[in-house]
């Protein structure tokens, strides 16, 4: 699907990954509807994008009804990039019931509800694409990720299942799965460090993955160094072995460091 001239709704636009995605898509000629909770940052981002016709819609997707209310203000949407997410890391017993509901609503419920509302209009118009930004944690569950992985496993399954329902139609569904990203994003914001041999990706690579998913109609795009991808796919098949190795090699300490820095973002 060509991006030029397409009206694109991007959630989580003011985060590090969202900014990179917005710049990449606007650079390909898309008209962006930028959404996040931060009005001033949205205005600054819209002004920095190439092209014109971009606009901003402030929304807190953790609030009940916010996802559909955002769509009602957005008008016709030809491409959806569901990028907004809460970190949702840490031990489950450290969460309140309200915090669990917020994570489920932002990371999983909101993308599903928006896809449901947009699907029929896209089919009637005969064009459209939806991209769901998951994570390699949508393939492998690690320590301190029970809630986050639940949402990312679910989002991956939803995107791929929807893709099968749409096979043979002019509407596409893709899932983009970043690994550990440096410079911006949830892991970078936590201040934790990964072992050097695992490598890291960049926000720009995630943005390129989103563009590729739309333009080439790719079902699943992993954005991570080769070793991370290999280990994630192994862990998805052999979770018990992978969990024991991670526990012995310092993976749990890294997970604790990430969770400690993300507690205030629930």
Q: For the chain, how far is it from start to end, CA to CA, in angstroms?
A: 35
Could you say which of 148, 153, 158, 187 is catalytic? 148
CB–CB of 142/249 below 8 Å?
A: no
Q: What phi and psi values does residue 221 have, to the nearest 5 degrees? A: -125, 115
Residues pairing with 39 in the sheet = none
Q: How many residues does the chain have?
A: 266
Residue 217 contacts by C-beta under 8 Å, 6 or more apart in sequence? 1, 129, 172, 174
95 is catalytic: no
**Tokens 């609503």 sit on residue:** 105
The Cα 148–Cα 134 span in angstroms is: 10
Structural tokens at position 20: 């990179």
The Cα 129–Cα 150 span in angstroms is: 24
The Cα 2–Cα 89 span in angstroms is: 36
**Tokens 């862990």 sit on residue:** 235
Structural tokens at position 144: 């301190």
Report the b/e string of 201-230 with b at 16+ CB within 10 A. Answer: bbbbbbbbbbbebbeeebebbbbbbeebbe
| Residues labelled catalytic | 148
């Amino acid at each position: 699907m060509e991006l030029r001239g397409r009206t694109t709704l991007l959630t989580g636009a003011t985060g590090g990954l969202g900014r990179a995605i917005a710049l990449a898509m606007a650079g390909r000629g898309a008209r962006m509807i930028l959404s996040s909770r931060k009005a001033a940052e949205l205005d600054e981002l819209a002004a920095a994008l190439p092209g014109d016709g971009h606009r901003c819609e402030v929304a807190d997707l953790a609030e009940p009804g916010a996802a559909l209310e955002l769509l009602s203000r957005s008008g016709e949407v030809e491409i959806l990039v569901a990028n907004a997410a809460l970190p949702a890391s840490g031990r489950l017993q450290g969460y309140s019931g309200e915090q669990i509901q917020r994570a489920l609503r932002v990371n999983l419920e909101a993308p599903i509800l928006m896809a449901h509302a947009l699907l029929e209009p896209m089919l009637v118009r005969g064009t459209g694409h939806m991209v769901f930004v998951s994570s390699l944690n949508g393939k492998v569950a690690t320590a301190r990720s029970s809630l986050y992985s639940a949402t990312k496993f679910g989002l991956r399954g939803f995107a791929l299942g929807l893709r099968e329902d749409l096979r043979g139609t002019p509407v596409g569904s893709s899932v983009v799965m970043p690994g550990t990203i440096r410079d911006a994003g949830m892991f970078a914001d936590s201040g934790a460090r990964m072992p050097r041999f695992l490598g890291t990706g960049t926000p720009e690579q995630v943005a390129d993955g989103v563009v590729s998913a739309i333009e080439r109609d790719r079902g699943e795009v992993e954005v991570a160094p080769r070793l991370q991808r290999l280990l994630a796919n192994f862990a998805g098949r052999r979770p018990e072995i992978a969990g024991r190795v991670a526990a012995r090699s310092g993976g749990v300490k890294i997970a604790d460091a990430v969770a400690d820095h993300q507690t205030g973002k629930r």
